[in-house]
Structures are given as structure tokens and as C-alpha cells.
Amino acid sequence: MNNGQLILKDKIIILTGAGGGIGRVISRRLTEKGATIVLIDLDKAALEATYSEISQHSPKSKYFLCDLSIRSQVEAVSSDIISGFHHIDVIINNAGIQKPIGPFYDNDLDLWVHNIEVNLLGAVYLTRYLLPVMIAKRKGKIINLSGGGATSPRPNFSAYAVAKTAIVKFTEELAVELRELNIEVNAISPGAINTRMLDEVIAAGSLAGKELESSLMRKAKGGNDPELAAELICFLASDLSDGISGKLISAPWDDWQNAAFISELKNDSDLATIRRIDNKYFRKI
């Protein structure tokens, strides 16, 4: 796979959660490859820090404060983005929160609902308001970040797991609906990266259940490299990924830099998707 330095030259990319640890890594990698980025986050200090880091490489990039859980704020920011740029090439829905942590029956329901509002509805709102620009151009890429709990049970993290599973389904539905409009939609799993969310798991103590032990080990030894997830996002944002849509791709586990695997992603409709294993489609018992 040819992964040239400026594979994102002249592309306008929207990135949520830009102030966080992985968001900053993604931002830096996107600008290194030539993109202009619209950074979105709720944390002003973190957002400005990311902008300060990338603006020297991408002077046309901008940033917006926005609470993605509030639909009216997302609508207003989307309007400002559309007014300020001639086109939008890529939307990256990266923003996410993890709490509440602990058994569902003990969760604060307000926190549980807020998790869905940020992790799922935030992506839905932004995509819905910006999508008409891509539809008018008949070209675009949407990249959604999924994560732990989307493909296997993650006890004591029910809100996060439900939201991230819904993100995968949202990805697949949009991919089918938008195929004829030349808009491709994919989700990625970045892997177990040491970020603020890891610290939240450790701080939760016994409420995190069996995940506490593995989190402490990961804190000591280090998690997956966020640069790998950022590189996958750059690939999916570029023209190199044309023909890939409706997939959930793991940054650390899938061989997505291999030409043969890329070909499989383009041609096997069930590869890298969530499916029920049953007698109808997959195997006979």
C-alpha cells in the first residue's frame, strides 16, 4: 500500500474529540499528510492546545467549542463550518466518554443516558447536519470510532458498550444508504490505548470488575500505540481506501496495511462486520 506523505492534501476534515489524547495524535497525523482540520471539543484548554500544535503545519485549520450531546449546539457549529469552508471531505466522529462504570443496576441513569447522547447521538447529529454538503458533491468519507464492548460483552461498562455497538450499526446502515452517492462510511476500533479512559477505569476500582487488573497491567506496561489508529484513520480518509465501506476495522489486530486484506475488505461483504452466526448464513450444525 502506497502511503505517501501528502495523501490528504487539500482535504477538509472534521474531527471531534480533538482535545483528547488520541484526538491530538490523529490531528497531528492528519496535518502531516496535508489535511486542513476543523477541530471540535468541549474542553477549551485541551482544544486550544491541539490547535496550537497543528496550526503551524495547517494554518487554515480552525477549532470550535461544542457540547455534542446538545443538538442545538451541534447544529450551530455545523452551520458555521459549512459557511466557512467550500467543501467537506471527511467527518471523523472520535469524541467519546466512558462513564458510568459499574453494574448496570447500580448506574446513575442520567449518566447512562448522557453516555449515549455523547457517544452515539453526538455522531448522529454532526453527521446529519454535515452530510448534505457531501451529498451535493457526491463524494465523502465518514469514519466513526467504535471500541470495547462492540463485538463482545464488556460487563460494568454497559452504556459505553451499547453506544459503541450502535455506532457500528449506524456505520453499516449509512454505508448501504450512501453507496450510490459515492460516500463511504467505516468504523475503527483503535485498540487498548492508554488515555484518560484508562485512568477512569483504575479510579473506579472494584466497580470495573475484572477489567481493573488488566488495566493496571496496561498502565504499567503500556497499551496499543495510538499512532497505529491514527494511521488507519488517515488511510480511510484518503483515496487509497476507495471501495471500502460498511466495515469495522481493528487498528492493532487487522492486517489493514496488506494489499490482499484491503482487496478482501472491498470484495467480501461480511468481512469486518458484526453478524449473528447461524444456520441461515454462516454454518450448518
What is the b/e burial string over 140-168, where b = at least 16 CB atoms within 10 angstroms of the residue's CB? Answer: bbbbbbbbbbbbeebebbbbbbbbbbbbb
Give the residue from 68, 8, 17 showing the smallest Cα distance to 38.
17
Whole-angstrom Cα distance, residue 211 to residue 201? 8
The separation between CA 265 and the C-alpha centre of its own chain, rounded to angstroms, equals 18
Helix (H, G, I), strand (E, B) or coil at 140: strand
Read off the amino acid at residue 91. I
Q: What share of the chain is helix, strand, coil (3-state, %, to 5)?
A: 50, 10, 40
**51 CB-near residues (< 8 Å, 6+ apart):** 18, 39, 61, 63
Q: Which CATH class is domain 12-192+226-267?
A: alpha beta
* Residues 191-213, mean pLDDT to the nearest whole number: 67
The answer to whether 156 and 201 are in contact (CB under 8 A) is no
Question: Percent of the chain scored above 70 by pLDDT?
Answer: 87
**159-192 per-position pLDDT tens digit:** 999 999 999 999 999 999 999 999 999 999 987 6
The answer on pLDDT for 46 being more than 80 is yes
Whole-angstrom Cα distance, residue 205 to residue 153? 19
The answer to whether 272 and 265 are in contact (CB under 8 A) is yes
The answer on pLDDT for 63 being more than 60 is yes
Is pTM beyond 0.95? Reply is: no
- Cell numbers standing for residue 53: 500544535
Strands 90-93 and 140-145: parallel
* pLDDT confidence of residue 1: 46
Catalytic annotation present for 51: no
* pLDDT confidence of residue 196: 66
* pLDDT confidence of residue 242: 97
Say which of 51, 125, 160, 281 is annotated catalytic.
160
The residue length of the chain stands at 285
The answer to whether 166 and 149 are in contact (CB under 8 A) is no
Q: Is residue 285 very low, low, confident or very high in pLDDT (cuts 50, 70, 90)?
A: low
**121-137 per-position pLDDT tens digit:** 999 999 999 999 999 99
Whole-angstrom Cα distance, residue 26 to residue 19? 10
Whole-angstrom Cα distance, residue 41 to residue 137? 26
The answer to whether 27 and 18 are in contact (CB under 8 A) is yes
Whole-angstrom Cα distance, residue 117 to residue 119? 6
